[in-house]
Amino acid sequence: MGAPHNKKRYGELWPNYRIQYALAALAPLKELVILSGGWAWHFLSHVGHTEYKHAHDHKDIDLFIDPKNVAEVMNILLENDFQKVWTRYDKLPSDENFRRYEKTVIIEDEKSVRITIDFFVKANIPVRNTKGWTIVEPSYLLGLYSNIHSSDKCWAVQAAIKLLDQNIDPLDREELVTIPKK
């Protein structure tokens, strides 16, 4: 579970370049992967939303991959200069086969951005298609915050819990990207 948010930092934005480079990394994988975590909430949010740091977690890209697509995804990642990164989670018992790939992209003024892709190999994930992407079905996605995802304090997660409790589909709901009033 995620740490409580520092509410004094509400309003901070993800840098545009982080979003752009992540989307560029995802583009060749689009037909092979299921977006989870912050990127699922990103595509559930309305087009053109403000990229608040506390609304969606964009530190990494969480994906599910059907076992039949793993070799192709790994090949695409390697062709695009991603490298396997070993983590403490690699040897833990789990229902999902976990892998992490990263690459660093040098951007203007010798700045760099690291793109981290965490992927879990699993078949039969409940999905929906939205805005051209396959994402984890929101009700199933919320259940992943007990064992796979840790940013359960994100506004989108908290808003989706409330919306789904009222049988309201969170797709394109302003609540997913609205600074909480509390």
DSSP state of 79: H
Mapped onto helix, strand or coil, the DSSP state of residue 98 is: strand
Mapped onto helix, strand or coil, the DSSP state of residue 109 is: helix
Report DSSP letters for 9-71, one per residue: GTT-B--HHHHHHHHHHHGGGTTT-EEEHHHHHHHHSPTT---BTTTS--SSEEEEE-GGGHH
Query: pTM of the predicted model, to two decimals?
Result: 0.90
Per residue in 1-23, pLDDT (tens digit) is: 345 556 677 788 888 899 999 99
Q: What average pLDDT does range 58-64 have in this prediction?
A: 92
Average pLDDT, rounded, for the chain: 88
Q: What average pLDDT does range 124-142 have in this prediction?
A: 96
Do 31 and 156 touch, CB atoms closer than 8 A? no
User: Which positions ≥6 away from 129 have C-beta within 8 Å?
Assistant: 135
DSSP state of 39: H
DSSP state of 102: E
pLDDT in the model for residue 145: 76
Per residue in 23-48, pLDDT (tens digit) is: 999 999 999 999 999 999 999 999 99
Highest mean pLDDT among 12-16, 112-116, 142-146: 112-116
Question: Domain 10-177, CATH 3.30.70.1350 — does that match?
Answer: no
